[in-house]
Amino acid sequence: MTTIRYKSPDYYQVDELLTEEHKLIRSAIRDWVNRAVIPIIDEANQKHEFSAHLVKELGEIGAFGPYIPVEYGGSGMDQISYGLIMQELERGDSAIRSMASVQSSLVMYPIYKYGSEEQRRKYLPKLATGEMIGAFGLTEPNHGSDPGGMLSHFTDEGDHYLLNGTKMWITNAPICHVSVVWAKDETGTVKGLIIDRGMEGFATPETYRKWSLRASSTGELVFDNVKVPKENLLPGVKGLKGPLSCLSSARYGIAWGVIGAAMDCYDTALQYSLERIQFGKPIAAFQLTQKKLAEMLTEITKAQLLIWRLGVLRNDDRATPAQISMAKRNNVKMALDVARESRQILGAMGITGDFPIMRHMMNLESVITYEGTHDVHLLITGNDITGENAFS
């Protein structure tokens, strides 16, 4: 019902800030989501299933590495196009956007930015088409918000490295062909390694029983004396700034993406409120419903303007990690609040799979935690404002 009638809100004519190319890209992704995602996504969620058949299609529509140069298989688009793609994918489901975010910003980006020319040629074109699926291993069982404390490590064994450790909560882990893994060398310096499926001692057990991102494949990356060829080290980066720069790119995409989920919830609630009759009139006619709708649209509009400006700054390579933190924190919380308010407008119907709201709401509980929790992003902003580190 919502699929066919979906109308994305644009209260401040933000569309006028977009180019014709931006709008064409958005429209192509929106059509694909209507066709390929909306009809199957509720069932995939109910069954806790990743829809593997969508991967190649995501490659075909240019969702993998949109801003990676064409010579490496990307689409060479700007940052606003990347954001709009994330927005449309997340209108479908955060799981689909997460898959594309990881592939683009956490796997293709580090290989492009820090990889050797050989690594770029070997992996990027296949990741762009979806022939290869990538994963990004930073979080560990005992180190989430403080990745600097990671225990995964590797030693130099002459002609290869020997990698040990466990990464947890890794998107795409069970289905990945390749993963970019961050581990410490013998001096305690964090470095990136490209791990291919099939390396002996490497396992990717799946994480089951999630109530959130149920259509996404999540798991562990377990390394038990894995022999890693030396050419699989990312030569261009040392230290935590490697993974953190990837996270900046992914967080930027998230700050766009969640607007898509919020718009879907808002639009569903608006339509429902105009049709649902109680006490002899549409519930949209009650002041309390109007308060919810008005506040939701205000917050969506503010988020649209915030992210558009951040996109302009990113196109100029001027956006700081702290600015990205502010947008990720604000927009994810906004989307979660919109989902919760929309759910109320639908009453009991809001908890069913007939409408997308509960699914978005549950997904957003992950999105507000991963790629830096809501509170951690607040501390990043606090640190940026005051110069005082309140993390530890």
Ligand X SMILES: Cc1cc2nc3c(=O)[nH]c(=O)nc-3n(C[C@H](O)[C@H](O)[C@H](O)COP(=O)(O)OP(=O)(O)OC[C@H]3O[C@@H](n4cnc5c(N)ncnc54)[C@H](O)[C@@H]3O)c2cc1C
Residues that bind ligand X (CB under 6 A): 102, 136-139, 144-145, 169-171, 213, 218, 366, 369-371, 373, 375-376, 379, 391
User: Exactly one of 88, 299, 341, 371 is catalytic; which is it?
Assistant: 371
45 vs 289, which CB is nearer to ligand X?
A: 45
371 is catalytic: yes
Q: For 46-68, give one letter per residue: b (16+ CB within 10 A) or e.
A: eeeebbeebbeebbebbbbbbbb
- How many C-beta neighbours within 10 Å does residue 203 have? 14
Distance CA 163, CA 156 (A): 9
286 Cβ contact partners less than 8 Å away, ≥ 6 residues apart = none
* Cβ-contact 179, 243 below 8 angstroms: no
Q: How far is the CB of 212 from ligand X (least distance, A)?
A: 6
Q: How far is the CB of 191 from ligand X (least distance, A)?
A: 15
Distance CA 251, CA 229 (A): 31
Closest residue to ligand X, judged by C-beta, is 144
* Cβ-contact 249, 65 below 8 angstroms: no
72 vs 136, which CB is nearer to ligand X?
A: 136
Q: Is 83 left (phi over 0), alpha (psi -120 to 50) or beta?
A: alpha
Q: How far is the CB of 97 from ligand X (least distance, A)?
A: 12
Distance CA 345, CA 347 (A): 6
Q: How far is the CB of 171 from ligand X (least distance, A)?
A: 4
Q: How far is the CB of 20 from ligand X (least distance, A)?
A: 34
Residue 205 per-residue DSSP state: P
Distance CA 271, CA 321 (A): 38
End-to-end CA distance of the chain: 49
317 Cβ contact partners less than 8 Å away, ≥ 6 residues apart = none
213 vs 262, which CB is nearer to ligand X?
A: 213
* Cβ-contact 95, 213 below 8 angstroms: yes
41 vs 379, which CB is nearer to ligand X?
A: 379
CA distances from 194 to 4, 41, 101, 107 (A): 42, 31, 18, 9
* Cβ-contact 126, 98 below 8 angstroms: no
213 vs 297, which CB is nearer to ligand X?
A: 213
Distance CA 325, CA 343 (A): 27
Q: How far is the CB of 372 from ligand X (least distance, A)?
A: 6
- How many C-beta neighbours within 10 Å does residue 118 have? 9
Q: How far is the CB of 269 from ligand X (least distance, A)?
A: 25
Q: How far is the CB of 233 from ligand X (least distance, A)?
A: 19
Question: What phi and psi, each to the nearest 5 degrees, are found at residue 157?
Answer: -110, 30
Q: Between vectors from CA 216 to CA 38 and to CA 98, what angle results, nearest 5°? A: 85
226 vs 283, which CB is nearer to ligand X?
A: 226
102 vs 332, which CB is nearer to ligand X?
A: 102
170 vs 215, which CB is nearer to ligand X?
A: 170
Q: Give catalytic residues, as residue numbers.
A: 371
